[in-house]
Amino acid sequence: MKKQVIQFLKDNRERHLQELEDFLKIPSISALSEYHDDTVRAAEWVQQELGNIGFHEAKVMESDGKPVVYGEYIADGNAPTVLVYGHYDVQPVDPVHLWDSEPFEPTIRDNKIYARGATDDKGQVFMHLKVMEAVISQDEKPPVNFKVLIEGEEEIGSPNLPKFAEENADMLKADLVVVSDSALVEKGKPTITYGLRGLAGIQIDVKGANSDLHSGEYGGGVVNPIHALVKIVDSFRDENNRIQVKDFYRDIPELSQDERDALAQVPFNEDKLKSDLGVSDLDGEEGYSYVERTSVRPTLEVNGLYGGFQGEGIKTVLPNEATAKITCRLVPDQNPDHIVEQLTQHVYDNAPKGVEVEVKPFDKGKPYVTPFDHPVIQKAAQAYETVYQNDTAYIRGGGSIPIVAELDRILEVPVVLMGFGLPDENLHAPNEHFHLENFDQGMETLAHYFYLLGE
Amino acid sequence: MKKQVIQFLKDNRERHLQELEDFLKIPSISALSEYHDDTVRAAEWVQQELGNIGFHEAKVMESDGKPVVYGEYIADGNAPTVLVYGHYDVQPVDPVHLWDSEPFEPTIRDNKIYARGATDDKGQVFMHLKVMEAVISQDEKPPVNFKVLIEGEEEIGSPNLPKFAEENADMLKADLVVVSDSALVEKGKPTITYGLRGLAGIQIDVKGANSDLHSGEYGGGVVNPIHALVKIVDSFRDENNRIQVKDFYRDIPELSQDERDALAQVPFNEDKLKSDLGVSDLDGEEGYSYVERTSVRPTLEVNGLYGGFQGEGIKTVLPNEATAKITCRLVPDQNPDHIVEQLTQHVYDNAPKGVEVEVKPFDKGKPYVTPFDHPVIQKAAQAYETVYQNDTAYIRGGGSIPIVAELDRILEVPVVLMGFGLPDENLHAPNEHFHLENFDQGMETLAHYFYLLGE
């Protein structure tokens, strides 16, 4: 049966691309309220598509934010159930003038499809739908049951989906969750993201006098909020780039040698990266490789810092306030609430006198990891390798998809992150695109995976 | 004769105030090019006024910037010659909506005249003109010769006056320079500013990758320019707020006990200052009082620092550049060129790897001091004390008037800074005003001073 399924995908490629273009034409930008109706249209498009491909159930459901699309196709009560999670919303398109073709007029050039959402995540959601269509239409006894959960707020941090998933946990019950919203580490290299970093952040506001002061009259006498903030921020790390916040590393288990060995296999070209970024050196926490530092080690990065005069030339002002925005990427088993508490305490402990310091927390997300030797991960690798004819890279993503950890917590099943994008596909940037070779090979991989899960 | 002079000032008070209002009505803002014609009008107003009060010579002279007004009244080749320096230009008036009356519609309320330039410096320039008018009209044999140099670029740092003064040094030859462009330390307290701090500054630009990066993907692996800049800036001072730049303090002579005693006499109310500014503590270089720190000790203040995201909430970006603007207030005998060199070297010595650091110098100004026991200073104190019936405070100004050090260098005569403003007269801010009691007592003081100099 698998053979017919794959043949069906090949035979229907042209139609599929036209349907994908229809999906990509909807400007379902979740961050901008003027596109609200378009996000609803995108949800309805997915619902209708679920009906078209033969799902028994397909509905647009209310949440506290954008609508959520849910559908299911239960073939056999004894077969394993796969829940596919994805999102129909996309990033804003500014600056529009840097796009070579209109962001919502999909265009194929050099076997790549250009459009906002092409790789993140409409293209990859669409692949799942088409593989399911192929399985349902070609196989009287599909190997797995399908459930589909497509949300419209991933690009704004999925603020409402955890509550939705908690309230609908029974409906969403499955044996595993599959998410295709990530990328291969490089062309032709199967890649499974078996962990994601969590997120915790704070804003530090330092206030001095009740107005800006003349630096000649008051300089040297009154505490400068920028100096105070710089002192606080500099206290976060030592000369080896180890974070100095108390108990910051407390809950992180030692990396196993197996895991370090696997990470050492991840393709990484330091010279190419330095040349791509235009930097002379890479640097970070001592004792860890670049790949480790950007995936399995926590970070503390200042995302923004500002105070005082920013115009051209000089203004001899002693500013009265300064602000820093800081986020940490967290790894298991760091707890975001604990980290925010420790960061906050660290700031107060290091605040110089003569200024008022306030700390505000930002939204948080838990780190996530599935053991990479778990059977559902190993079967995904097998499916990839059958199609791509290449070993799988097991990586832990440096970024955060907070909803992944939430789904893991609420549904208590493993989450498999098998993406088909590529690192240079400009997601969140102008000229987002998706390589059609991965559209084709990815669908074939998913077909193999569903059959492997059913064995 | 002095008596008639003072009586003349009293008899003509109403006319003087009307003339002052005419002067204040001219919006001679030097920083904004759309007011250029008004600056020229202000220069012509001063020229005409010099003619009206009986000067032999009064001319508007070209400089490389705004015109300079020069005039002279030579009564007696053997009498000492006083050169009065001042400026006809004023600061911008933004934010206009915070003014209670129009900035260029002078209004008298509570014996104060409100207008941009009222205290800085048109009001004080005008006082000199009126005292000279009184002396010339009432005394057949004036005690001193008068020269007047009024420029139009003080508020933008007097970029062209040093060259002008050098080229016209013969014309400007005098026995002393008198400047009234400062304030009494408090109401009723004669105040002589016998020194001013100099200025040296740099901008530090730190560049990382060629674009902003995703803090999840690259965080922990690529050097964050904000971290690098914070490290550099924090290295400037130790925990006692001593500047750590090599040889920063090298050329500063030890403060004499006499001078420290005099500074300890300067009225200073710490509780009032803290309450006025709304701060819990004052802090600065250990081992020096607030007055010392803000007048006779050098400073290093960050006037602005910025990099990365400044909007609401959070953006998980690893920014690709960060900038700091820094100025030092300098004291004798620190050399601004040497300080800029040392600052620059310090930045390079403390720059972390993985980022590119560039340092640009800002305009510089030399520090200035006249020994406070110099006879021309002591006579100024005597004049003040006759009128104000109070001891003189000898202070060194924390701010910088770079042209003062330049006039001292070029003309090689002492400069006496005797101002009649008050600290809360909102110079450079909305609702600038000038207390008319100091307009009256100040003119009387100047009359006494000219006669004392002639003795």
pLDDT tens, residue by residue, A240-268 = 999 999 999 999 999 899 889 988 988 89
What is the nearest CA distance from B367 to chain A, expressed in angstroms? 12
pLDDT at A302: 97
Mean confidence (pLDDT) of chain B: 95
In angstroms, the CA A363 to CA A330 distance is 13
3-state helix, strand and coil shares in percent for chain B, rounded to the nearest 5: 35, 20, 40
* Cβ pair A294:B219 closer than 8 A: yes
- pLDDT category, B72, cuts 50, 70, 90? very high
Indicate if the pLDDT at residue A1 is higher than 80: no
A-proximal residues of B, 20-59, CB under 8 Å: none
- The band of B417, judged by pLDDT with boundaries at 50, 70 and 90, is very high
Q: Are B398 and B168 in contact (CB under 8 A)?
A: no
At B421, which amino acid appears? G
User: From CA A32, how far away is CA B153, in angstroms rounded?
Assistant: 48
In angstroms, the separation between the Cα of residue A111 and the nearest Cα of chain B is 26
The pLDDT score that the predictor gives to residue B316 is 84
Query: Which residues of chain B have a CB within 8 Å of the CB of A219?
Result: 294, 299, 301, 329, 398
For residue B185, give how far its alpha carbon lies from the nearest alpha carbon of chain A (Å). 12
When pLDDT is averaged across residues B23-47 and rounded to a whole number, the result is 96
Domain B198-252+298-361 has CATH 3.30.70.360: yes
Name residue A186's amino acid: E
Q: Shortest CB distance from B327 goes to which of A215, A221, A281?
A: A215
Q: CB–CB of A216 and B297 under 8 A?
A: no
Contact A304 B303 (CB under 8 A): no
Cβ neighbours of A204 in B, within 8 Å: none
- Bridge partners (DSSP) of residue B195 are B369, B396
Beta strands A299-308 and B299-308: pairing type? antiparallel
What does the alpha-carbon distance between residue A325 and residue B317 come to, in Å, rounded to a whole number?
10
Integer angstrom CA distances of residue B176 from A38, B80, B122, B147, B414? 77, 8, 21, 10, 5
Position A139 scores a pLDDT of 96
For chains A and B, count residue pairs whose Cβ atoms are closer than 8 Å: 254
For residue A88, give every residue at least 6 positions away whose Cβ sits within 8 Å of its Cβ, in sequence order, or none.
A23, A28, A39, A42, A43, A45, A46, A69, A121, A122, A125, A150, A151, A152
Q: Which residue has the tokens 């028994």?
A: A56
pLDDT tens digits, one per residue of A421-439: 998 899 888 899 999 999 9
Looking at beta carbons, which residues of chain B come within 8 Å of A156?
none
Amino acid at A253: P
Angle in degrees, 0-180, between the axes of helices A13-24 and A2-11, rounded to the nearest 10? 70
What single-letter amino acid sits at B366?
K
pLDDT in tens, B289-299: 999 999 999 99
Whether A348 contacts A356, CB under 8 Å: no
pLDDT band per the 50, 70, 90 thresholds, residue B36: very high
| C-alpha radius of gyration, chain B, whole number | 24
Both structure tokens of A354: 């003569």
pLDDT at B89 over 80: yes
Q: What is the pLDDT of residues B190-231, one digit of tens each?
A: 999 999 999 999 999 999 999 888 888 899 999 999 999 999
Is pLDDT at B1 greater than 80 in this prediction?
no
ipTM: 0.81
Residue among B428, B422, B431, B369 nearest B400 (CA) = B369
What tokens were used for B425? 């007269």
Q: Quote the pLDDT of residue A94.
A: 84
Task: Please indicate whether, in this complex, the C-beta atoms of A282 and B222 are within 8 angstroms of each other.
Answer: yes
Kind and range of the H or E run holding B328: strand B321-330
Percent of chain A with pLDDT over 90: 83
Nearest to B329 among A219, A224, A231 (CB): A219
Is pLDDT at A400 greater than 80 in this prediction?
A: no
Q: Which two tokens stand for residue B367?
A: 């520090």
| DSSP secondary structure, B165-188, as one string | HHHTHHHH--SEEEE--SB-SSTT
Residues of A in contact with B362 (CB under 8 A): 313-314
- Over residues B181-195, mean pLDDT: 94
Write out the DSSP string of B16-76. HHHHHHHHHTS--BSS-GGGHHHHHHHHHHHHHHHHHTT-SEEEEE--SSS-EEEEEE---
For residue B258, give the 3-state DSSP assignment: helix
CA neighbor of B192 nearest in space, from B395, B40, B363: B395
Residue of A nearest to B292 (CA): A221
Residue of chain A minimizing CA distance to B218: A294
Query: Which positions 361-380 of A are in contact with B (Cβ < 8 Å)?
Result: 362-363
pLDDT of A287 over the 80 cut: yes
Tell which wins on pLDDT, B320 or A94: B320
Contact between B418 and A238 under an 8 Å Cβ cutoff? The reply is no
Class of CATH domain A2-196+367-454? alpha beta
Amino acid identity at B241: N
- Find how far residue A174's CA is from the centre of its chain: 22
Q: B429 pLDDT band (50/70/90 cuts)?
A: confident
Apex B256 CA angle, B252 and B259, nearest 5? 105
Residues carrying CATH 3.40.630.10, chain A: 2-196+367-454
Q: Which B positions 100-139 lie with beta carbon below 8 A of chain A?
A: none
Ranges of CATH 3.30.70.360 domains, chain A: 198-252+298-361
A-chain CB neighbours of B297 within 8 Å are: 220
pLDDT number for residue A419: 95
Interface of A with B in 418-437 (CB under 8 A): 428
Q: B110 to chain A nearest CA, in Å?
A: 26
For residue B349 the two structure tokens come to: 């010595």
Contact status, residue A151 vs residue A68, Cβ threshold 8 Å: yes
Alpha helices in B372-418 (DSSP H): 375-388, 402-411
CB A128 within 8 A of CB A53: no
| Chain B interface mutation, best of A91, A224, A230, A294, highest count of B Cβ atoms under 10 Å | A230
**pLDDT beyond 90 at B156:** no
Residue of A nearest to B198 (CA): A216
With beta carbons less than 8 A apart as the criterion, state whether A235 and A350 touch: yes
Q: Does A355 touch chain B (CB under 8 A)?
A: yes
Which bin fits B205, alpha (ψ -120 to 50), beta or left (φ > 0)?
beta
**Residue A17 Ramachandran class (φ > 0 left, ψ -120 to 50 alpha, else beta):** alpha
A190-213 burial string, b = 16+ CB within 10 Å, else e? bbbbbbbbbbbbbbbbbbbbeebb
Instruction: List Cα–Cα distances, A246 to A200, A205, A341, A345, B288, in angstroms.
Output: 15, 21, 10, 9, 35
The residues in A 311-350 lying below 8 A from B, measured between CB atoms, are 313-319, 322-323, 325, 327, 329
- Strand-strand pairing, B81-87 and B145-151: parallel
